Amino acid sequence: MSAALLAALRAAVGRGGLLTDPDATAGYAHDMMPLVPYGRPLAVVLPEATDQVQACVRACAAAGVPIVPRGAGTGLTGAANALEGCVVMVTTRMNRILELDADNRLAVVEPGVVNQDLKTAAAARGLYYPPDPSSLDTCTLGGNLATNAGGLCCGKYGVTGDYVLGLEAVLADGSLLRTGRRTVKGVAGYDLTRLLVGSEGTLGVITRATLALRPLPAAPGTVIAAFDSVTKAGDSVNRVVRAGLVPSLMEIMDATSLRASSAYLGTDLAGHGDRALLLCQSDAGGPAAEAELDRMERLFRQAGAAYTHATQDPAEGALLLRARRVSLTALEARGACMTEDVAVPRTRIAELIDGCARIGDDAGLTVAVVGHAGDGNMHPTVLYDRAGTDEYARARVAFDEILALALALGGTITGEHGVGKLKQDWLERELGPVGLRVHRAVKSALDPAGLFNPGGMLVPHAGAPDTP
């Protein structure tokens, strides 16, 4: 059976589009989350066109072999991790921007287009594609679509799903589903586009997307504020929201992450008494941006900021923002990390950060927190010694306690990274039995044989078709 399947896959994608050597396939077996188990794929296919995707899906369906769709592999939940004996379908070679329509402010793209490449192409036409995950220079739009990725500018501009007008996706029987529209408005039928966005490769393989664009904003101005308590920083966020301000970016870093980034970059951004740092930007342009930055700076001082600094210089602002963008890399340089992706109401950010510190103290470990204060999406990171079995076990306990804390604060277990194979048990707790039943019904309707990413997102139940 394997020989026949490999022959069919080779016929579909050509010899150069099929990898079977274990040394070659190993690089596609998992994403960037080291905590989630993964298996050895039978093969990796790298299609270059939709018809090749369809042919591969039909061949795998006939052989009863599961498919795990994969983009650039920058995910953090094991959503694209291989199952033993599966076929990993990598869409990075489908990397064309097919259309960039300035008059209708939209782009038509294949899933392998890198996020930053679309931004650059759109900017050349005076347009802007807002979603900006931290891995924007390497992550692909197909992965962004599959996880409904966010980024640093979500507070003002929203997440990936807010920009998806329509999709093409290959279903489990090899047929091609077209959803959505090219128009600004359209409400014909069920919103199948929204259903596929964030489905993490469990319902189909996205092969094309029509994305909405915005006018290119002005280069942003930047303001930072340091605080001697997390509570004061949280109060500052609330003051900004109550004042009706909508900064294009509002990030928070706790003392641990701030010190790690400062050491990594060789800067003196971290003050000795700083417990939290807010970093905000305004892309309103000209006097409007200056007024917005000035008003935020005054609000921060009223909330008790120990230090503030504002700049309209884009280069200086980019340097300040880099401290936030490299935070996870800086923490990883200190040792092993378990990175969370919880979201809470903005008014409870301080409670979450303080709670994470207590959880770390109880576990005898350090928990660093950075996040998007503009939308309440926080990234607590548990630091532990990779060589210490006991520390790993305590880190896993702390990881789960942070998820429980987020739910207790009225939040969610994931704001932008997705569920993957990391948080399946917690998804069940958040959705409840009825929500889980509906999810299973949708999966069964679109993928009755459990072909796509079996065990992804939903915990398999005995006898279910999605049980690998």
The predicted-structure confidence for 274-301, as pLDDT tens digits, reads as follows 899 999 999 999 999 999 999 999 999 9
Q: How far lies 390's CA from each of 24, 130, 363, 364, 385, in Å? A: 34, 42, 10, 11, 9
Domain boundary among 75, 90, 105: 90
Distance CA 343, CA 409 (A): 9
Q: Do 267 and 188 reside in the same domain of the chain? A: no
The three-class DSSP label of residue 290 is helix
Domain boundary among 215, 244, 264: 215
Residue 447: pLDDT band (50, 70, 90) is: very high
- Encode burial over 248-265: b for 16+ CB neighbours within 10 A, e otherwise: bbbbbbbbbbbbbbbebe
CATH number at residue 75: 3.30.43.10
Q: Do 284 and 351 reside in the same domain of the chain? A: yes
Question: What pLDDT sits at residue 261?
Answer: 93
CATH number at residue 154: 3.30.465.10
Average pLDDT over residues 444-452: 97
In a domain, 414, yes or no: no
Q: Is the pLDDT of residue 462 over 60?
A: no
Output the average pLDDT for the chain. Answer: 94
Distance CA 70, CA 204 (A): 12
Average pLDDT over residues 442-451: 97
Q: Do 240 and 311 reside in the same domain of the chain? A: yes
Question: What pLDDT sits at residue 134?
Answer: 87
Helix H or strand E encompassing 435: helix 424-446
Nearest to 35 by CA among 365, 356, 468, 400: 400
Domain boundary among 68, 90, 112: 90
Q: Do 182 and 154 reside in the same domain of the chain? A: yes
Q: Is the pLDDT of residue 216 over 70?
A: yes
* Total tally of structural domains belonging to the chain: 4
Residue 260: pLDDT band (50, 70, 90) is: very high
Residue 22: pLDDT band (50, 70, 90) is: very high
In a domain, 418, yes or no: no
Q: Do 397 and 293 reside in the same domain of the chain? A: yes
Q: Do 135 and 58 reside in the same domain of the chain? A: no
Question: What pLDDT sits at residue 272?
Answer: 58
Domain that holds residue 48: 2-90
Question: What pLDDT sits at residue 432?
Answer: 94
Nearest to 158 by CA among 375, 344, 346: 375
Distance CA 293, CA 223 (A): 6
Q: Do 289 and 398 reside in the same domain of the chain? A: yes
In a domain, 417, yes or no: no
Q: Do 285 and 396 reside in the same domain of the chain? A: yes
Q: Which two tokens stand for residue 465?
A: 């078709």
The whole-model pTM stands at 0.94
In a domain, 416, yes or no: no
Q: Do 238 and 387 reside in the same domain of the chain? A: yes
Q: Which residues pair with 377 in a beta bridge?
A: 343, 372
Q: Do 254 and 392 reside in the same domain of the chain? A: yes
Residue 269: pLDDT band (50, 70, 90) is: confident
Average pLDDT over residues 38-55: 98
In a domain, 348, yes or no: yes
Q: Do 101 and 190 reside in the same domain of the chain? A: yes
